[in-house]
Amino acid sequence: MAKEKLYIFDTTLRDGEQTPGVNLTVEEKVQIAKQLERLGVDVIEAGFAVSSPADFEAIRRIAREVKNSTVCSLARAVELDIRTAWDALKEGHRVRIHTFIATSDIHLKYKLRMSRDEALKRAVEAVKLIQDVSEGKAEVEFSAEDAGRTDLKYLFEVIEAVIEAGAKVVNIPDTVGYAVPDEWYERILAIKENVPNIDRAIISVHCHNDLGLATANSLVAVKAGARQVECTINGIGERAGNAAMEEIVMAIKVRSDQFPVYTEIDTTQIYKTSQLVSRLTGVMISRTKPIVGDNAFAHESGIHQHGVLACRETYEIMKPEDIGLKESKIVLGKHSGRHAFKKKLEEMGVELSEEQFEEAFKKFKELASRKKEIYDVDIELLIENLEGAK
Ligand code: KIV
Ligand code: ZN
């Protein structure tokens, strides 16, 4: 069966910027947006226009300067938010307003102090207002905030009503990262099967990572019928963050046998984008972070190094080149063996007799048992003390 396109909606500049301690300048946001455009994301959520003059300006600049991705602003289901979002976006090439209202009973009761009927009415009014204010020029996305904890029958009603009102993308957020994969799959499938006009809109998901399940939940949602995923670079975002774009995209690429979709992401831009976002936000990337962490393509144990040197696929399920890295890293440490050590000497242009090699290897193992990582300079020193080595 022909694969369908999965739209990648990047919210690094909105939900990602909600990471505690992160505050990007307008220039930095524009720089990241241009890199996201090179990466090939379909939608860039550039900010929340009404939240600050700086967000407004960043959205305005990005909408004007980015041509190949849709540029989006968040807006509560409130007239001022929607009008401000449109003011920021109106000079853009392809633009979207993403409006939202909470639908779970806990949010309705304690946050909005609103009944279910009132929230539904506000959702419909917001969707219509976007079309009126923008004269149909802005795409309309609607999110049912805390959809993961919303009564399912009421959620169906809200989704049907906003589609009737003109929403083209209906986003189902797991706002608090509470969902687990089986249940989330069932919820998305239930929406697909029970909302009468669901085929007139794209189902989107927006998963948070409080239980470390954001990527898994996004992927099962795709299996259930979602055709847009909302995510951030390096998984940054509120609390434990959002689903990480690089993980979703690479899972779909590496395990294309498992998914009915493809993305238009240029994966060779992933590493560069990840580094840029980390540098400008100041959020460090864990060494063991999948795809973009320092160790993601590093091999330390002798058995793994021997395998990878003979045939990369023995221990690598994707190529470093796929994400824009030059090569895998062979890290010399206490678990490394003769093959990796010999390869390192070759790279350094060191020639040793068999006897010298054995002596050097012994010294290397002694050093590695004391020192975590062995650098070229350590090996140079070690060789200098060998008789007759060049
Ligand atoms: O997590 C969430 O529910 C959100 C919405 C605004 C989509 O970020
Ligand atoms: Zn969110």
Distance of CA 145 from the midpoint of ligand 2 (Å): 8
* pTM (2 d.p.): 0.92
Q: Which among 143, 162, 174 is the best mutation to test ligand 1's pocket, defined by most ligand atoms within 8 Å of the CB?
A: 143
pLDDT in tens, 62-93: 999 999 999 999 999 999 999 999 999 999 99
For a mutational test of ligand 1's pocket, the pick from 206, 209, 217, 239, i.e. the residue with the most ligand atoms closer than 8 A to its C-beta, is: 206
pLDDT number for residue 190: 98
Compute the distance from residue 206 Cα to the ligand 1 centre, in Å: 7
Residues in the chain: 390
335 annotated among ligand-binding-site residues: no
Does the annotation list 105 as a binding residue? no
Encoded tokens for 315: 């221990």
Give pLDDT < 50 ranges for the chain. Answer: none
Ligand 1 centroid vs 271 CA: distance in angstroms? 26
Report the distance separating Cα 194 and Cα 102, nearest Å. 20
- Alpha-carbon separation of residue 116 from 109, 111, 119, 363 (angstroms): 9, 13, 5, 72
Which ligand 1 atom is at minimum distance from the Cα of 173?
3
Q: Mark 347-373 as b/e (b = at least 16 C-beta within 10 Å).
A: eeebebeeebbebbbebbeebbeeeee
Ligand 2 centroid distance, CA of 290 (Å): 21
How many helices (H) does the chain have, and how many strands (E)? 14, 12
Single-letter residue type at 67: K
Q: How deeply is 217 buried, as exposed, middle or buried, from its count of CB atoms within 10 A (0-12, 13-18, 19+)?
A: buried
- Tell me the ipTM for this assembly: 0.99
Q: Is 208 annotated as ligand-binding? A: yes
Angle of helix 214-224 relative to helix 181-194, nearest 10 degrees? 30
Nearest-atom number in ligand 1 for the CA of 147 is 3
| Ligand 1 pocket check for 100: Cβ under 6 Å | yes
Residue closest by Cα to atom 8 of ligand 1:
15
Per DSSP, helices labelled H in 225-337 are 245-254, 270-281, 302-310
CA distance 4 to 19: 32
At 388 the pLDDT is 63
Burial of 329 (C-beta count, 10 Å sphere; 0-12/13-18/19+): middle
Distance CA 318, CA 341 (A): 24
Ligand 2 (ion): residues with CB under 5 Å are: 15
pLDDT for the residue numbered 275: 97
Q: Is the dihedral of CA 162, 167, 171, 175 positive or negative?
A: negative
User: What is the DSSP secondary-structure string of 330-358?
Assistant: E--STT--HHHHHHHHHHTT----HHHHH
Pocket test for ligand 1, best of 10, 51, 76, 100 (most atoms within 8 A of CB): 100
- Ligand 1 contact via 81 beta carbon (within 6 Å): no
